[in-house]
Amino acid sequence: MRWGITGAAAVTVLVAAVIIRTQLIDTVTVSSDSMDPTVCTGDTVVLARLDHDTAIKVDDIVTFPSPADGQPAIKRVVAVAGQSVAIQDAQLIVDGREVQEPYVDHASIDGVYTATVTVPQGDVFVMGDRREISIDSREYGPIPTSIIDGRMIMKLWSECETR
């Protein structure tokens, strides 16, 4: 009798773990430096799986298939629907105001300017923190929130800190 209860508990835990892993959270290992120094190549991050009713906010770090090549991408949301976004001499401007971004090396993109874009309903504007190498909404435009599949909750392991 005791083994029957233990076996049932083990099966319950296993089923719960599978449901949580496939429906609620996931772990991924990052394969790009475009979010360095916030998230580096080799970092393992925990993602909250999102449904299409989940509100995405500015500063969320999200994952999605890149419109550029379909590969998994991780980027920071810098503007949401209705906001205007531009870069003026390396400085991010949202709704006419400079955004403080201590994680961006502005000297590496000094002299960069972009046209002002207003983010359409149902979309967000995403950028990598390492702007000089990131392929992001500056290249492919705002992305639909419907393609976002996860929001970073935390880092489990960071390669940034071991360099």
The number of domains in the chain is 1
In a domain, 20, yes or no: no
In a domain, 57, yes or no: yes
Per-residue pLDDT of 91-115, as tens digits, reads 999 999 999 999 999 999 888 899 9
| Domain that residue 100 falls in | 25-162
Per cent of the chain over pLDDT 70 is: 82
Q: Could you tell me the pLDDT band of residue 10, with boundaries at 50, 70 and 90?
A: low
In a domain, 119, yes or no: yes
Is pLDDT at 161 greater than 70 in this prediction?
Answer: no
In a domain, 118, yes or no: yes
In a domain, 17, yes or no: no
- Could you tell me which residues are beta bridge partners of residue 126? 77
Torsion 27-29-34-39 (CA) sign? positive
Look up the CATH number of the domain holding residue 82: 2.10.109.10
In a domain, 104, yes or no: yes
Is pLDDT at 24 greater than 90 in this prediction?
Answer: no
Is pLDDT at 4 greater than 70 in this prediction?
Answer: no
Length of the chain in terms of residues written: 163
Strand positions, DSSP E, 21-160: 25-29, 44-49, 61-65, 72-80, 84-88, 91-94, 97-98, 117-118, 123-127, 143-144, 150-157
CA distance 47 to 25: 5
In a domain, 137, yes or no: yes
Is pLDDT at 21 greater than 70 in this prediction?
Answer: no
Per-residue pLDDT of 36-71, as tens digits, reads 999 999 999 999 987 766 789 999 999 999 999 999
